[in-house]
Amino acid sequence: MSNIGFIGLGAMGKPMVKNLIKAGHKLVLYDKYAKFDELLALGAEAAASCKELASRSEIIITMLPSSPHVKETILGENGVIEGIKKGTVVIDMSSGSPAVSEELCAALKAKKAAFLDAPVSGEELNAIDGTLAIMAGGEKAVFDKMKPLLEKMGSSVILTGDTGAGNVAKLANQIIVALNIAAISEAFILAAKAGVKPQLVFDAIKGGLAGSAVMNAKLPSILEGNFKPGFRIELQIKDLQNALDAAHNLNVPLPLTASIMETLQALKADGFSARDHSAIIRYYEKLAKIEVRK
């Protein structure tokens, strides 16, 4: 089995590493902030820096909050690029900017290393179960070689195009998710204000055209008033900012995305940054002066 270096051991990274260990891979780990003693107990090893990790790995996976973190990890002082070996494949599974993916690919190519951007859709439970949706960008030959490894972490692994295409697909995903939650919020605020029980409306419409994976996943928690983070509002803001930046560079207007971004900014101002993005409904509840609950 391959020697894999894994950088970023937060809520998503840790279970992803566990699935790779379970599959028989040897793991070398690094995280600047998170503790990962439980992974070391399972047989993984620790590196003192990203540079050292790169020197001990054939494949390197990053799972970090945003593109600036990934860029620092790979190109910064004592970064991956300083220790990387010829033929190494770097897979960035963070959600970030397509432009940064292209920059990293070019830098690694100069070192005779390969790169895939392979962000994921799913939450911590999907990472634990190995059922993430993985959307990749990069050379097909590299993707084909890495696909069996990615399938240890995801139930859907799709090459969407050249470098950066994986992050474009993830940005499209994030636009649809955020706008879907906003549409659900408006619809159920209307139902609640009209005196119709939201649970019964959910039961009535979930099997029809308005039904969606987003509604099925988020509405039960909303009805319980549970906004414990699966995907935080601050991360949704980061992703939509990347989407708006990419769209503006392509002269593509995204008026609905811009609108929901302002909703998210209002929630951030109200102290909801660390809550789940289903808390988008709290914005509408504040406007309508009613809560959507069972």
- What domains can you pick out in the chain, each with its CATH number? 3-163 (3.40.50.720), 168-288 (1.10.1040.10)
CB atoms within 10 A of CB 84: 24
CA nearest to 282, candidates 256, 241, 293: 293
Which has more confidence, 240 or 2? 240
Candidates 170, 206, 218, 228; catalytic one: 170
pLDDT of residue 69: 96
Q: How many C-beta atoms surround the C-beta of residue 226 within 10 A?
A: 11
Q: What is the pLDDT of residue 158?
A: 98
The string of pLDDT tens digits covering residues 47-91 is: 999 999 999 999 999 999 999 999 999 999 999 999 999 999 999
Reply yes or no on whether the pLDDT at 41 is more than 70.
yes
* pLDDT of 70: 98
Task: Quick: pLDDT tens for 179-222.
Answer: 999 999 999 999 999 999 999 999 999 999 999 999 999 999 99
Angle between helices 98-109 and 67-75 (to 10 degrees): 10
Strand 120-121 to strand 132-137: parallel, antiparallel, or no bridges (unpaired)?
antiparallel
Average pLDDT over residues 118-137: 96
Is-catalytic flag, 170?
yes
Report the pLDDT value the prediction gives residue 1, as an integer from 0 to 100: 58
Instruction: Give the H/E segment covering residue 198.
Output: helix 198-205
Arithmetic mean of pLDDT over the chain: 97
* Interatomic CA distance for residues 288 and 134, integer angstroms: 38
